[in-house]
């Protein structure tokens, strides 16, 4: 349907009549009289009917022009059918570890050895893309945590910022407690929403001002559910050309703390030894139940002001054309 965004502007329609009725008339210009012996040569121009007809046309065009200008100024719009917004009510924050150990190449992606961070980017990007209806944010942490993307429905931007992250961007160590604290700060102001933090790390808390235990307590009080993911293979071969040995690249992973964080806040701990397990974990996270929120609707709006504005331009051109021909006549 047609809707006027500024309908009060139609109150200006009587303005020309009020100006004509109450404002004093402009003084007429006195011109020299022309004395002629007879009025016969001017008989055609003095016919009262033709004069009145010309005035009526000009008045009609002027009123139509004013009506079109006021209509355009009132901002006519076409409102489309209401479209339901896919809003689930979940606020989901991802916290990604960028410490030095995330560069260990113990994951496989498309048949090639890649770093833990590279595999994470591929799997997490697909996960974010499927979060229709959720607001997603991104925290990157190392020595300190940083908000890389606030909570937003613009998932494409969150994915791009995740893809641009690199090892050491936030420092070489791991501040798990501070990352949780930053997530609490960002999520505590959100009302009537399910607050979820997905924290992914391959180490232990080695930096920061807040201990993981204290951060877990604060998260539980704030109603923040934490899902922790420990990433890293259990074994891999390293060595030179002649000698190889099997080592555990995840020896520094503090699974006890990650399990405690999940249990205290009502979440769950996951262990990802390879890319396939990481994909499976995100598939499980994908089935989180959202809280119920009132439905929101959106009506697409199309501006229509240029139609009456264009018609006003045509009327003005017609008026000008008539005036030119009248003078020539």
The answer to whether position 294 is within a domain reads: no
Residue pLDDT, tens place only, 76-93 = 998 877 766 655 567 889
Whether residues 247 and 314 share a domain: the answer is no
Whether residues 59 and 207 share a domain: the answer is no
Whether residues 74 and 90 share a domain: the answer is no
Please tell me the predicted confidence (pLDDT) of residue 217.
93
CA separation for the pair 321, 325 (Å, rounded): 6
Q: Which helix (H) or strand (E) holds 254?
A: none
Per DSSP, what are the bridge partners of residue 198?
Answer: 94, 227
Whether residues 223 and 277 share a domain: the answer is yes
Nearest to 237 by CA among 105, 99, 111, 108: 105
- End-to-end CA distance of the chain, in Å? 46
The answer to whether position 292 is within a domain reads: no
Whether residues 154 and 277 share a domain: the answer is yes
Whether residues 173 and 262 share a domain: the answer is yes
Whether residues 95 and 237 share a domain: the answer is yes
The answer to whether position 26 is within a domain reads: no
What is the average per-residue pLDDT within 165-192?
86
The answer to whether position 150 is within a domain reads: yes
Residue 203 near residue 99, CB atoms below 8 Å: yes
**Tokens for 179?**
């990352």
Please tell me the predicted confidence (pLDDT) of residue 251.
82
Band of residue 208 on the pLDDT scale cut at 50, 70, 90 = confident
CATH of the domain at 133: 3.40.50.410
The answer to whether position 138 is within a domain reads: yes
The answer to whether position 76 is within a domain reads: yes
Whether residues 127 and 215 share a domain: the answer is yes
Residue 261 phi, psi dihedral angles, 5° rounding:
-60, -45
Whether residues 243 and 320 share a domain: the answer is no
Domain extent, residue 162, equals 85-285
Give the predicted TM-score (pTM) of the model: 0.62
Whether residues 212 and 144 share a domain: the answer is yes
What is the average per-residue pLDDT within 111-127?
89
Please tell me the predicted confidence (pLDDT) of residue 325.
74
CA separation for the pair 28, 1 (Å, rounded): 48
Please tell me the predicted confidence (pLDDT) of residue 291.
47
DSSP assignment letter at 295: -
Residue 261 near residue 220, CB atoms below 8 Å: no
Q: Is the dihedral of CA 279, 281, 283, 285 positive or negative?
A: negative
The answer to whether position 147 is within a domain reads: yes
CA separation for the pair 49, 13 (Å, rounded): 29
Whether residues 159 and 234 share a domain: the answer is yes
The answer to whether position 37 is within a domain reads: no
Whether residues 69 and 179 share a domain: the answer is no
How many domains are there within the chain? 2
CA separation for the pair 8, 252 (Å, rounded): 69
- Given a cut of 70, whether residue 49 has pLDDT beyond it is no
């Amino acid at each position: 349907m047609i809707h006027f965004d500024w309908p009060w502007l139609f109150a200006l329609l009587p303005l020309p009549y009020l100006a004509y009725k109450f404002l004093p008339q402009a003084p007429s210009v006195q011109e020299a009289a022309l004395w002629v012996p007879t009025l016969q040569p001017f008989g055609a121009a003095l016919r009262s009917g033709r004069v009145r007809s010309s005035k009526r046309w000009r008045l009609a065009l002027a009123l139509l022009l004013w009506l079109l200008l006021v209509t355009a100024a009132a901002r006519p719009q076409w409102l489309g059918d209401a479209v339901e917004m896919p809003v689930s009510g979940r606020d989901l924050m991802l916290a990604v570890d960028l410490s030095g150990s995330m560069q260990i190449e113990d994951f496989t992606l498309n048949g090639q050895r890649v770093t833990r961070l590279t595999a994470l980017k591929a799997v997490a990007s697909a996960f974010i893309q499927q979060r229709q209806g959720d607001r997603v944010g991104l925290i990157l942490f190392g020595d300190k945590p940083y908000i890389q993307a606030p909570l937003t429905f613009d998932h494409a931007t969150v994915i791009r910022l995740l893809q641009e992250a690199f090892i050491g961007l936030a420092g070489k160590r791991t501040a798990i407690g501070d990352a949780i604290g930053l997530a609490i700060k960002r999520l505590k102001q959100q009302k009537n929403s399910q607050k979820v933090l997905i924290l992914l790390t391959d180490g232990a808390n080695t930096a920061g001002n807040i201990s993981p235990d204290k951060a877990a307590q604060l998260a539980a009080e704030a109603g923040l559910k934490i899902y922790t993911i420990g990433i890293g293979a259990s074994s891999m071969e390293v060595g030179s050309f002649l000698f190889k040995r099997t080592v555990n690249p995840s020896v520094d992973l503090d699974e006890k703390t990650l399990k405690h964080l999940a249990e205290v806040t009502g979440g769950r701990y996951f262990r990802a030894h390879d890319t396939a397990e990481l994909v499976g974990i995100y598939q499980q996270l994908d089935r989180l139940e959202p809280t119920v929120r009132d439905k929101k609707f959106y009506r697409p709006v199309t501006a229509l002001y240029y139609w009456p504005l264009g018609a006003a331009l045509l009327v003005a051109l017609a008026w000008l054309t008539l005036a030119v021909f009248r003078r020539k006549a």
